[in-house]
Amino acid sequence: MLDLIPSLGPWTRSLAGRQFAVATILAATGSVPRPVGTSMLVTESGDVLGSLSGGCVEGAVVALAQEATDDGVPRHETFGFSSDDAFAAGLTCGGELAIHIQPVPAGTGAARDPLRAALLQLAALGPDQPVALVRLLGSPGSAAVVLSDPAAFRLAAHPELAALLQGEPALQVEAMVRSGGTGLVRQAGHRECPPDRSGHGRPGEELAVLVESRLAPPRMLVFGANDFGAALVPAAKLLGYYVTLVDARPAFASQPRFAAADQVVTDWPHRYLAAEAAAGRLDPRTVAAVLTHDPKFDIPLLEVALALDLAYVGAMGSRRSHLQRVDELLNAGVPPERIAQLHSPIGLDLGAVTPAEVAVSVTAELIAARNRAASGMPLRETSGAIHHHPAAPAAADLTKQEIAWT
């Protein structure tokens, strides 16, 4: 549901006092366009916010959501590809989606309905603000808790969640929230469910907890106030990085062409990086792109960078300059296994020449590096799924015995 945050403001105002449903992807396997946690809001009149599949199954989900708002009973549906029924709702890409639909009754204020309250809280957040949403899925009125500081989350500080989770599932939820992960966690044991709108009781359900967590944007440190740095900064912003441009030369760093950077720092690169590490402002998601192409800057900087636990360290230069750089790093005492982690020459081999092309090459390598299953080859020369999502339970495994929502 965190994907809806940028558009939630006007919608939450229009949903006041109205019934609606929230459809959420719980499992995604194969070539599916959207990951677990993606949500869509559907009102009783058929208004829609968000998309689950880019159009393949939206019509069927809207119909199910309206049924859920009518009877107040959650739905669970699996969509895949059907070659036998040309009129069946399914994914033409061949993947499979497991979707949960949670109705929110009309007339329930935020104080009485946790999911409505969660939507109001999310609507007040900025698009990059750290946040986590932990939802207990199932019967009407299921728990939904918004966490404003996911990196510091401790389950014990939230008794409403701690009372529901024990053992390994509790550890999984806490780890997922703190790491910025998204996924479904099941808790063994059952709970009693309240009666439905007809007044009939419903059997107990196995607890299913959906965690969506988003940490502060990862950092990219671009070292080098030159043409290549000017092209890489906006490209990195498109990938969601908080970008800092660093250069020791004030006349270069102060140029207006670097205004797209979130932060511009005038300092010796190695000194700045060491200070940021000592202050705890770097983490395993941080990326360093060394574009200075000058040994007096590069070598001290790479000595510091290669000693840190960073997601990616890349350095610009020819193959010849890379071999010289390796010799200097070895002479400086940098272990060979750390040097082997250096992406140099930086970028994928795209035949890039201009600064803009080099920026594409670098960002392409970044994407390939953080999605380790990616080959970096043209899609037409590969096989298997196109979209790679974090590991999640297969839709086929979400049986009614495991998660009995209906």
State pLDDT tens for residues 344-358.
Answer: 999 999 999 999 999
pLDDT band at 128 (very low <50, low <70, confident <90, very high): confident
pTM for the full predicted model: 0.69
In this prediction, residue 322 carries a pLDDT of 92
Has residue 99 got a pLDDT over 70?
Answer: yes
In this prediction, residue 18 carries a pLDDT of 85
The superfamily (CATH) of domain 219-379 is NAD(P)-binding Rossmann-like Domain (3.40.50.720)
Has residue 33 got a pLDDT over 70?
Answer: no
In this prediction, residue 405 carries a pLDDT of 35
How much is the average pLDDT of 379-396?
A: 54
In this prediction, residue 106 carries a pLDDT of 83
Lowest mean pLDDT among 61-70, 83-92, 159-168, 299-308: 83-92
pLDDT band at 168 (very low <50, low <70, confident <90, very high): confident
Q: Residues of the chain with pLDDT > 70: what percent?
A: 79
In this prediction, residue 260 carries a pLDDT of 95
Which residue pairs, CB below 8 angstroms and at least 24 apart, start in 257-264?
Answer: 257/230, 258/225, 258/229, 258/230, 258/233, 260/233, 260/234, 261/222, 261/233, 262/237
* Mean pLDDT estimate for the chain: 83
Alpha-carbon span 214 to 133, nearest angstrom:
9
Has residue 232 got a pLDDT over 80?
Answer: yes
Question: Which part of the chain is CATH 3.40.50.720?
Answer: 219-379
Alpha-carbon span 309 to 288, nearest angstrom:
11
Radius of gyration of the chain (CA): 25
Cα–Cα distance list, 348 to 180, 228, 294 (Å): 28, 15, 21
The β-bridge relationship of strands 48-49 and 75-79 is unpaired
In this prediction, residue 391 carries a pLDDT of 47
In this prediction, residue 142 carries a pLDDT of 64
pLDDT digits (tens, 9 = 90+) for 247-271: 999 999 999 999 999 999 999 999 9
